[in-house]
Chains A and B, each alone.
Chain A
């Protein structure tokens, strides 16, 4: 299994531009999570999908952020318009039924820099 695959690995964009981050979860996993890592706040949960349905998006910072999961093998996180304070590493993770006992499997992350 290739694990959770995220793309791109690095993204540099200008303020005001649209940014789309992509994630392919592990086959068979039915829960998908988007996290953001910053120095100040550590790992923050942005949104959680179960069986392709958004369950909890209370962590999404504001209306500029949106996430979709059109099918079990693909999810996107979009920021429009992007701002410098959005600069962070964004992680996607997946699990089976959100079972925390064995943890989530994380992707390698997308480092976003907004200039």
Chain B
């Protein structure tokens, strides 16, 4: 059973608009959450993370929001750029310090 779920396999957004990628988790023991970005023929690269003691973390155009009561996190990209087109993976970590990944969301930013 999947402990980290990304229910939208794809998302298309117009350049300049906001992209919102969503992720749900089931394990209440997760205490760190991360987003990775993956381009074709490359490995995933770390984008941004958030600790369970926070509800928001911002880094430039990227903001991650965490709603612990709903076991939900989201990644906002504002403004979206064509170079942001990639697969985005949500990941979570608990006491074992291993990352559990979601299945990914393909973001396409249209010029």
Contacts and interface: CB of A to CB of B under 8 A. Distances in A.
B34 A42 contact: no
B34 A100 contact: yes
Contact of A103 (B34, B100, B102, B103): B34
A108 B28 CA distance: 32
Contact of A108 (B36, B42, B96, B98): B42
A20 B15 CA distance: 42
A101 B89 contact: no
B100 A106 contact: no
Contacts of A98: 97-98
Contact of A56 (B32, B44, B96): B96
Given A100-B93, A102-B49, A103-B49, A43 B101 contact: yes
A41 B41 CA distance: 18
A42 B43 contact: no
Q: How large is the interface on B (under 10, 10 to 19, 20 to 34, 35 or more residues)?
A: 20 to 34
Q: How large is the interface on A (under 10, 10 to 19, 20 to 34, 35 or more residues)?
A: 20 to 34
A100 to B, nearest CB: 3
A65 interface: no
A13 to B, nearest CB: 20
30 contacts: A33-B98, A33-B99, A35-B101, A40-B103, A41-B103, A42-B6, A42-B103, A43-B44, A43-B89, A43-B101, A43-B104, A44-B101, A45-B101, A48-B98, A91-B43, A91-B44, A93-B43, A98-B97, A98-B98, A100-B99, A101-B51, A102-B49, A103-B34, A103-B36, A103-B46, A103-B49, A103-B91, A107-B43, A109-B42, A109-B43
